[in-house]
Amino acid sequence: MKSHPILILSISSASLLMFMVLFGISEGASQQYFELINTMNQYSTDLISQAMPIRTIIGLDNIFIVLYTSVIILIVVQLKADGKSPKELLYIILACGLTAGALDFLENFHIITMLSGLENNIPIEPLEVKEQMVSSMFKWHLSYFAFFLLAFTLKPQNSLEKLFCFSLLFIQLPTGVFYYILEGTLIGDILFYVRYVNLFFGFILIGVIFNIRNRSTPTVSNNETHDSDKNNLTPTFS
């Protein structure tokens, strides 16, 4: 039996995320640094000095955005097709996920624009940095909210799924929220990496969960498929 698309996309997302983090550490660069407030001189100097690795990370991150938004879309499609989750919650999850992805793209475009401006002797305005941090926090918190709601729509069927739902409710949300509250402190620095570890294992788990569900679903024969065409087995959003 083939692997479920959610598993393939989730593992791809987790692998790319890990590569970006390790690449950033090896290069001493991180786009996350430019999602926070700093003095204009320091912000501009750091952005120019990290130009090439930041451009590389943002290019990879744009691919990452495509992968993780695809995961969210397919999760919603799958849960809707299963017919056990409230449609209203699924639509909210989808809307939050797509909005977070759009904000993530805009955030990357904005950082690249600021960098290109500096390279052409166009200074960064203080309002740009403030707006960057606000949009970044909004993006992250929308994704926290989406996955928090997922815990109520997944309808766990085994211990692994219960553990995953527990992590969505009591680990990913407080970790993400308190990272910004405690940003600049030792605990905030720890939560910065905990957030990425949580994301990495979260992608792996959600992929495994839906792959297991797919393998446990009875295979439909050709005759049964023809007889059930009228039941419209293909997931739609009608």
For residue range 51-71, list pLDDT tens digits in order.
999 999 999 999 999 999 999
Structure tokens, 220: 């439909």
3-state secondary structure at position 145: helix
pLDDT attached to residue 217: 67
First vs last C-alpha separation in the chain: 29
Pick the closest to residue 138 from 81, 184, 188, 177 (CA basis).
177
Query: 9 CB contacts (<8 Å, ≥6 apart)?
Result: 67, 68, 70, 71, 74, 207
- Please report which confidence band the pLDDT of residue 50 belongs to, taking 50, 70 and 90 as the band edges: very high
pLDDT attached to residue 120: 97
Whether the CB-CB separation of 141 and 176 falls below 8 Å is answered with yes
pLDDT attached to residue 49: 97
User: What are the residue boundaries of the structural domains of the chain, listed by start?
Assistant: 5-210
The yes-or-no verdict on residue 142 having pLDDT over 80 is: yes
pLDDT attached to residue 146: 97
The yes-or-no verdict on residue 140 having pLDDT over 50 is: yes
| Mean pLDDT, residues 170-177 taken together | 96
For residue range 201-228, list pLDDT tens digits in order.
999 999 999 999 998 865 544 444 444 4
The yes-or-no verdict on residue 233 having pLDDT over 80 is: no
pLDDT attached to residue 2: 83
Q: Which amino acid is at 90?
A: L
For residue range 114-127, list pLDDT tens digits in order.
999 999 999 999 99
Query: Angle, nearest 10°, between helix axes 126-153 and 40-49?
Result: 70
pLDDT attached to residue 216: 81
The yes-or-no verdict on residue 137 having pLDDT over 70 is: yes
Tell me how far apart the alpha carbons of residues 35 and 170 are, in angstroms, rounded to a whole number.
25
pLDDT attached to residue 221: 45
